[in-house]
Structure 1
Amino acid sequence: MMHHESALLLSSCLVVVSCVPEGGGAEDDEAGESGTQTDSEDESSSEEESGSESESGSESESDTDDPGPEPSTLSLSFSAIKQFDFEWTASPGADFYRLLEQDDGPFEQLGEDLEQTSLSLTMPLHAKFGATYVLQACNGDGCTDSEPLVVADHMIEAIGFFKASNANEGDGFGGAVAMSADGGMLAVGAPHEDGGDPQNDTGAVYVFRLDEEQGWIQEAHVKASNPGQNDRFGLRVALSADGMVLAVGAGLKDGPEGEDSMGAAYVFRRDVQAGWEEEAFLRASNGEGGDYFGWRVALSGDGETLAVSAILEDSAAKGIDGDKTDNSSPAAGAVYVYRHDGGDWTEEAYVKASNTGAGDQYGESVALSGDGSMLAVGSILEDGGATGVGGDEADNSAEDSGAVYVYRRDEQTGWGQEAYVKASNTDAGDVFGTVVALGAEGDVLAVSAMHEDGEGAGVDGFDWDNSLDFAGAAYVLRRDEQMDWAQEAYVKASTPGHGDFFGWSLTLSGDGRWLAVGSVFETGGAKGVGGDDSLSGASTAGAGYVYHDLEGEGWVLESYVKATNTTSDQGFGMSMALSHDGAVLGVGAGWESSGSQGIGGDASGNGMEGSGAVYLY
């Protein structure tokens, strides 16, 4: 983990001998911290689902005064997908073994006591660089510890590599990703996929599922019921928490009378027996050519509320349910909220900015809370010069600085605006609101500004230096018990660079404690997790940065994440998704060019330019 200061530099097969671990720090109750057992000879050992919340074993410390058995020699290797494969030598006199982990806290036992000499666990790779492991050999006289094993390998072998089953040049698979709460369902958009049609860029979505018997499989290749040329179906995707409802945006789809780029959105529902079926085809109630309805989509965790944006919609209305027919504010943008009433999807609200302005592109980003009662909307070309929350909305002194609007739905009174949010360091051209994300409870908000120019690095560094054009930044805000929003963290890359576009993508775990940010034009040449972020030479390779909200410490940089096959022009970090507990991370690279198809294929070479890929950590 990047905030750990010590590590044994070990190769992909890690071997250790005997020593006593030192505990310390506060106990960490993070989901996914202790991994998921997947392969054990001990049938009594607890098994947990990949990506679901797990409870670590009891806190354990060694007693060096006890005459325990001889120490074992512990080794660790990695395998796909997300597997840590532990093995250890049998210790003469040992009756059982315990595997301990230290990760943001004291040593804790993983699972139960073991009789075998191997154990495979599913791990959150992005959270385990720098984690420490100890194997205790135990009998009635006590336990003897192996020497601590620190993960300093980049875990390339364990990273999942996903391609479309019909991967083709230029499809852009990975341009959008979405994940179920447990991390066991993954939806991937390929907006330029042609599907064998004579038309170009109709687009497609691929749904992958973690099967208990088969592991990860592609479950569905999803197409629109009415595909058209240049629809870009799959440009945006969203999944409900249970993975049973899928929303897809097709922002460039032409209208019924041939209106250019009116846009559309689709809703699909999964039936366990029948599979995926299209449930709804949606158009804006005031749709016109060039509105780009479907540019962004967001789905509540319960799958009952849908938000769809139209970034170039022209109405001059303000607030909720204003005049849709007034087209005097070109490209102002709008958001439409739909509710599922058990059968149909019906429009519940027509949402505009409280300070609507021409060209603001309100709706560039949208997010919903788990129950659909909180909505966040980004407006990247808004010109407000205010800073922080609740500033002067009429101050247009910072062109294209960007803003975010937060709304709350009251079951009695409907939707109302709760907050007008600006960056703490508002500046012209920053495009604050590039991406927005809400935690499931709706009380944590993450916002990116991919054109922000600050030179500061890491979390809460200096924000006054504008010497790195388009380096990018992210911001985390939290709502308190009085319903007031305040900025909690100003987040930068560990090594910000000119034109990196940090914040092109952003995702927040449902529990609000994990944040991942994509930087598609980053030039680092490292591979896997925890590589050297000072390396260069891979233009537009892209990178991901994972941050963790630690109790007592706040937000810290957890890991620097790269592709397994880093090369120039991959666009790694174009899209990102996290499970509810942060234990599963998916990263899209829509420009990746390897020639394989399906899951776990050959990631080398450039035989299929721009086909795209997704990586699972």
Structure 2
Amino acid sequence: MIERIATVALPLAQEIVVLRRLLHRFGALAPLALVVVTSGAVAQTQLLAPTEVAAELAYSVALDGSHLAAGAPGALMKSGRVYTYACIGQSCANAVPLAPVDLDAGDLFGAAVSLSINTLAVGAPEQGAGAVYVFTHDGANWSLQQKIVAAPVLPGERFGSSVAVEGDRLAVGAPGANAEAGAVYVFERAGVNWSQSDRLQATDASSGDALGSSVALSADTILTGAPQWAPVLAGAYSRGAAYVFEFVSPGWMQQARLLPTVAGDGDTFGHAVSLSGDRAVVGAPLADLRVGNAIVFERSGPVWTQQAQLLAPVGLPGDRFGWSVALDGDQLIVGAPFALEGCGGSTLFTRPAGSWVASTDPALSRASPGGLVGWSVATRGQSWLVGIPGYSGAPSHVGAALWRDSSDGLFNDGFEKAGIDVCVPPEKRLAAG
């Protein structure tokens, strides 16, 4: 049996503080505008970053169709910003910044982002009890459609810590609600107006569970993580759980509580979640001495069953594999931002014959000491977006995102290893010979 150590997942604001401290550990690199990383004559990825200083860009990322979004909650004295891109294949237009006029220092606008066709939802969890801004795209520009707050508004809810939008439905996590038991708010759009339709809580809600720390939405199903949940056992803490809610007219009902087959104290299962139809993936980044894992579940009727436990091809204590997850059909990206001595990495899994198969190397092509590659991830079809919020290092903390679309393999054998030696810890170099 693998020994586990005591640990506690951090609230969003504290995560940003930790991120900043980690970045100070590494020297400053030159801030970048837009860089195309190539392998031979074929462009493999694009590294996206605005020309202006955007602290912790790509703390959160989202994509749908030709639209990309990267949140920078540390920008502008932590009032935050979101940068949007329009991309056709590997060609992306210059970043367009979004920042509502009513932001104040510390709001953390951009801590969470979600895209659905021409709708963009952005969380600002430290603006009072929290807020979510919904933008729409008219084919040329993004414009603010509505600012949404929870009802009733209660201090400390951190409403907007996680967001998921699909079509005319929006799910918003508030992990600080009800003495940090947590809640998820559901909103529906009619025309151009959003209205709250429900407020979801776990049937076994307990103070400190932090439900709503992560949230995903697919049709009439909501998946949300409660990474601080623990069973009623002496000394148990932070094992984590994920909850499935389903809309059955006239309202929402809890369908299942998902738990891994093997769980341990401090695993923080539910730190990250993703949902695609009847398939769900839940990250437990602090499991097994913080090596981390990601668990895949499948639904048949109303019953959810664990199908696979996914591990990094080469995982070490402290990597935090499962910190971020992004699922679309038969492909999945899992981030491990603390791997390779803080360079980070992410692993692509596919399901060619009913079983999940990992790429051969967890690192991406861009070696970035302290970059925390994989802090955030997104996928849709054959497109991938991977956040590097610490790309430039201290003191600027200008982040970036790796973007890849379509036919050329982002994770081709050998390609992602180029130039990565500066990020490989000694024990991995020795193991590789």
* Short-chain TM bin: 0.7 to 0.9
* AA of the residue aligned to 2:361: Y
- Separation in 1, partners of 2:87, 2:397: 26
Find the residue that maps to 2:280 and give its secondary structure. strand
Alignment match, 2:249: 342
Matched residue SS, 1:294 = coil
Output the amino acid matched with 1:474.
S
* Corresponding residue of 1:188: 122
Q: How does 1:76-475 map to 2 (within 5 A)?
A: 124=87, 127-128=90-91, 158-180=94-116, 182=117, 184-194=118-128, 202-211=129-138, 215-240=141-166, 242=167, 244-253=168-177, 255=178, 260-272=179-191, 275-300=193-218, 302=219, 304-315=220-231, 325-326=232-233, 329-369=236-276, 371=277, 373-383=278-288, 399-411=289-301, 414-439=303-328, 442-453=329-340, 469-475=341-347
The 1:163–1:272 alpha-carbon spacing in structure 2 relative to 1, beyond 3 Å, is same
Structure 2 partner of 1:484: 355
User: 1:543: Cα distance to partner?
Assistant: 1.4
Q: Answer yes or no: is the 8 Å Cα contact 1:173–1:190 preserved in 2.
A: yes
Instruction: Tell me what 1:40 maps to.
Output: none
Distance 1:451 1:52, change over 3 A: closer
Deviation at 1:51, TM superposition (A): 6.9
Q: Distance in 1 between matches of 2:235 and 2:275?
A: 29
Q: Give the distance between the partners of 1:477 and 1:52, measured in 2 at CA.
A: 21
User: Any conservation in 2 of the 1:263–1:291 contact (CA below 8 Å)?
Assistant: yes
Gap change, CA 1:418 and 1:216, over 3 Å in 2: same
In the alignment, the residues of structure 2 paired with residue 347 and residue 203 of structure 1 have an alpha-carbon distance, to the nearest angstrom, of 24
Partner of 1:520: 389
In structure 2, how many angstroms separate the alpha carbons of the residues matched to 1:378 and 1:547? Answer: 23
Q: Is the 8 A contact 1:477 1:489 kept in 2?
A: no
CA distances 1:75-102 after superposition (whole Å, capped 9, x unpaired): xxxxx986xxxxxxxxxxxxxxxxxxxx
Instruction: Give 1:203's aligned amino acid.
Output: G
Shift of 1:448: 0.4
Letter in 2 for 1:503: G
Structure-2 change in CA distance of 1:348 and 1:81 (3 Å): closer
Q: Deviation at 1:549?
A: 4.5
SS of equivalent to 1:500: coil
Whether the 8 Å contact between 2:313 and 2:360 is mirrored in structure 1 is no
Partner Cα separation in structure 2 for residue 484 and residue 81 of structure 1: 35
Alignment check: 8 A CA contact 2:364 2:411 kept: no
CA distance in 2, matches of 1:125, 1:357: 44
- The 8 Å contact of residues 450 and 502 in structure 1, kept in 2 or not, is answered as yes
Distance 1:125 1:164 in 2: 27
How large is the Cα RMSD of the aligned pairs?
A: 2.6
Residue 542 (structure 1) aligned with residue 432 (structure 2): no
Mapped to 1, the partners of 2:126 and 2:65 lie a distance apart of: 33
AA in 1 matched with 2:174: A
- One-letter amino acid of the counterpart of residue 445, structure 1: L
Cα separation, 2, equivalents of 1:366 and 1:402: 14
- Return 5+ residue gaps in structure 1 as ranges: 7-24, 26-49, 54-79, 83-122, 130-154, 195-201, 316-324, 384-398, 454-468, 525-536, 559-617
Determine the C-alpha separation between the residues in 1 that align with 2:115 and 2:175: 21
Q: Is the aligned partner of 1:500 residue 2:371? A: yes
Please give the per-residue CA displacement for 1:160-201, whole angstroms capped at 9, x wherever unaligned.
110023121111111110000x2x11000001112xxxxxxx
Number of residues paired by the alignment?
Answer: 343
Q: Would the aligned equivalents of 1:548 and 1:555 in 2 still touch at CA under 8 Å?
A: no
Q: Aligned pair in 2 of structure 1 residues 165, 343: CA closer, same or farther (>3 Å)?
A: farther
Q: Distance in 2 between matches of 1:450 and 1:327?
A: 32
For residues 360 and 169 of structure 2, what CA distance do their matches in structure 1 show? 33
Q: Which residue of 1 aligns with 2:6?
A: none
Equivalents in 1 of 2:298, 2:243: separation in Å?
14
Structure 1 Cα separation of the partners of residues 255 and 292 of structure 2: 26
Higher relative contact order (CA 8 A, sep 6+): 2
The Cα shift of 1:352 comes to: 0.6
User: For residue 417 of structure 1, what is the amino acid of its counterpart?
Assistant: Q
- CA drift at 1:520: 1.3
What does residue range 574-585 of structure 1 map to in structure 2 within 5 Å?
Answer: none
* Residues 176 and 210, structure 2, Cα contact 8 Å, conserved in 1: yes
Conserved 8 A contact 1:497-1:522: yes
Residue 296 of structure 2 aligns to which amino acid in structure 1? V
Shift of the 486–224 alpha-carbon distance from structure 1 to 2, 3 Å rule, reads same
Distance (Å, rounded) in 2 between the aligned partners of 1:52 and 1:351: 30
Over 3 Å counting, the alpha-carbon distance change for 1:352 and 1:281 in structure 2 is same
State the distance in 1 between where 2:362 and 2:384 align. 10
Asked if the contact 1:522/1:541 (under 8 Å) is kept, the reply is yes
Counterpart CA distance in 2 for 1:52 and 1:283 is 32
**Closer, same or farther: CA 404–550 of 1 in aligned 2, 3 Å:** same
**Unmatched 5+ residue regions in structure 2?**
1-35, 43-62, 67-82, 417-433
Say if 1:52 and 1:350 are closer, same or farther in 2 by CA, change over 3 A.
closer
Query: Partners of 1:554 and 1:327 in 2: how far apart?
Result: 46
Give the counterpart letter for 1:353 in structure 2.
Answer: P
Larger CA Rg, structure 1 vs 2: 1
**Which residue identity is paired with 1:446?**
I
CA offsets 1:304-359 (integer angstroms, 9 cap, x no match): 000111111111xxxxxxxxx55653110111101001321101111111101111
Query: Normalization by structure 1: what TM-score?
Result: 0.52
